[in-house]
Structure formats: structure tokens, C-alpha cells
Amino acid sequence: MSILTLLTDFGTQDTYIGVMKGVIFGICSTVTIVDLTHDVAPQDVVAGRFHLESAYRYFPSNTVHLVVIDPGVGSDRRSIAFETAQGIFIGPDNGVMTGIHDSPIIVAVELDRPQYWRTSSPSSTFHGRDIFASVAGHLSAGVAIQALGSTIEVSSLVCFPELFTVNSEGKQQGIVQSVDRFGNLITNLRLDLNLLECWNIHLPDHILPIQKNYSESGVGQLVAIVGSHGFVEIAVNCGNAQERLGIRVGDRIAIDIKGNR
């Protein structure tokens, strides 16, 4: 049994996801499709990268992961696929798969062979249907990744620049990379769980210690913790941190050793 995950910013109001699944099933009717999420904010490549990086390692190593968050669709950005020991990844070469690139890549290809597309004249606005879904179907049916396109250098894949720094005083700056449905602000900062008591998180008008769980603060209070994904997040106990603070994806967050200002 083959498994294919889908991650997009298409939402569920329209038929885009259903159409993509129809293309996939038309090529490989036995594949099991898992929807990671389709509620990434439109064109939010940073948040999409977070969702993919947080999810892929929980699937079998032969899983195909299809990501379509593609504000550059129809432009000269490449359509790519690459294989690691933890699966095959398909999507636009726009940085959305940054982080997966950190795993050793066995092979990477540009999807430039139309015989594996749904049509040799793909829509300029829906590569998810005409290129990516079709390629994912062929991979799920057993076609080798090397057959799908020309081999490309791993070093040529688009990656986001490093989004946090550490200076000589032990300070870090990062960004909010996602906001979950509870309004928790998930940063791209990681900390050693054994050293949480050493750090403060700095927000406009707030300095928060990093706690072990939500209940260490009272209901309605701001709390900073390390979430199950391993990143520092800012929350309101039984509330919504995004609404409280007005912070959005891409906004910068600072943390430092306790006592630094």
C-alpha cells in the first residue's frame, strides 16, 4: 500500500483538492491519501514549510509528500521532486520544502517530462492539478523518480535564509512561522528543554519566562512554552495569543538569557 500526503493553501470551499485527488486516483487507484492540511493561509510559504517539516517524519519512509503552496505558479520557478531516506517530496521550488533539504537528498529532479503530466499544455494557474498531482500519482504507482525529469544539483534548490541569529551575548531573534487554530504563535526558535529556566522571551510590552506547560500560568495569562513540534510558542492559557498581541506570521520575536536587556 502506498501513502500520499497533501498539503496546500487551497482551503475546502472550492473543488481544487477534489480535482487533484481525482487526477491521482486516475493514475493509482490504490493509493491512500492523507490530508495534512489545506488551511495554510493563501500564498504563505513560510507557514507551509513549518507544517511540512512538522509532519513528514511521522510517516513511513516510502511516503510521497505533495506540497502545493505556489504563489509563483505559471512563472519560471521550477517544479521539482526529490528523494530522501524519509520519503519523496514534490512541489514548487520556492523554499516551501526548506528544512527537508537538511536531510541527505538521494536524488533531485526538475519535473520537465510532459509524458508524466496530466497534459502537455498545463494550466498557467493550476500546476497542482496538471503537473504535481499527476507526477504524484505516477510515483505512487511505482514510477522511479529519475524517470520524471532531469537531475538537478541539490545545492540549486531554493531555501529560505537562516531566520534567526545568536550573538555573543546569548541573544536570539527569530520569526513567527505559523499561527495554529488556537491562536498560538509558533516561532522558529528551538531551545534545550533542560535549559528553559535560563531564557526570557521578549514581546512588545511583555517579557515572559519560558514555562513547561500551559497550566503554569493562570487562565487568560500569556505563556511561552516549547510545543510538541520542538519550537518555542507564545500562547494565552484558554485564550488566543494572536488576537491579544496582534502578531502575525513573519513578525520577529527575541529571546535572551535571563537578565539581559
Rg (CA), the chain: 20
Q: Is residue 257 very low, low, confident or very high in pLDDT (cuts 50, 70, 90)?
A: low
Q: Which superfamily is assigned to 165-257 in CATH? A: Bacterial fluorinating enzyme like (2.40.30.90)
pLDDT value of residue 191: 78
Residue span(s) of the chain under CATH 2.40.30.90 come to 165-257
pLDDT > 90? residue 14: yes
E strands, 169-238, are: 172-179, 185-187, 199-203, 206-211, 222-226, 232-236
d(CA 234, CA 8): 25
Q: Say which residue, 34 or 230, is predicted with more confidence.
A: 34
Lowest mean pLDDT among 19-28, 39-48, 100-109: 100-109
Q: Is residue 160 very low, low, confident or very high in pLDDT (cuts 50, 70, 90)?
A: confident
Query: 178-225, pLDDT tens digit by residue?
Result: 999 999 999 988 877 777 677 788 877 888 888 888 888 889 889 899
pLDDT value of residue 251: 86
pLDDT > 80? residue 162: no
pLDDT value of residue 169: 64
d(CA 250, CA 163): 10
pLDDT > 70? residue 168: no
Residue span(s) of the chain under CATH 3.40.50.10790 come to 3-156
d(CA 211, CA 229): 15
d(CA 24, CA 19): 9
Q: How many CB atoms lie within 10 A of CB 178?
A: 24
Look at residues 41, 157, 139 and name the one whose alpha carbon lies nearest to residue 98: 157
d(CA 24, CA 129): 9
Q: How far apart are the first and last CA of the chain?
A: 55
pLDDT > 80? residue 88: yes
Record the pTM.
0.87
Q: Give me the architecture of the 3-156 domain, per CATH.
A: 3-Layer(aba) Sandwich (3.40)
pLDDT value of residue 261: 46
Lowest mean pLDDT among 57-61, 118-122, 174-178: 174-178
